Amino acid sequence: MQSKARRPAIERARDARLERGGDTDYELYELISEHSGQGAYELSKLNGWTAGRTHSSILRLEKKGLVFVERIVQGGRTKLVVRPRPWQEFFTPKELEEMRQPGYFDEVEKMVKRTED
């Protein structure tokens, strides 16, 4: 059993690791959006990450439903091809119609500016 004095340090380390993982996932999601259809290996080279870090992040993004992962066999090896999920799929038809209304995004920009101030 761990002492109470050590437990907070372990919890802080866990929280930092989870936060860093979230940052990693977001960074990779942005890269996938820019380079849709690339394989995991190509994405790791583009980002300068290890294949393991990239693969783990891809699996988390897939589990969250943010990307589609296709497993193909190429040259006798399995390759993960990654594509972002279209942003429109995150909204209902009613929400999409509302977004098409003139001035909708003007209101959104105002709300964002209020939160930044």
For the chain, list the domains and their CATH numbers: 1-85 (1.10.10.10), 86-117 (no CATH)
For 74, list phi and psi in degrees, rounded to 5: -135, 120
What is the residue whose two structure tokens read 């300068």? 48
Entry pTM: 0.64
Tell me what pLDDT residue 76 has.
92
pLDDT reading at 4 higher than 60: no
Question: CA 40 to CA 49: how far, in whole Å?
Answer: 10
Tell me what pLDDT residue 16 has.
67
pLDDT digits (tens, 9 = 90+) for 66-112: 999 999 998 999 898 999 998 888 889 998 898 888 888 888 788 88
pLDDT reading at 14 higher than 70: no
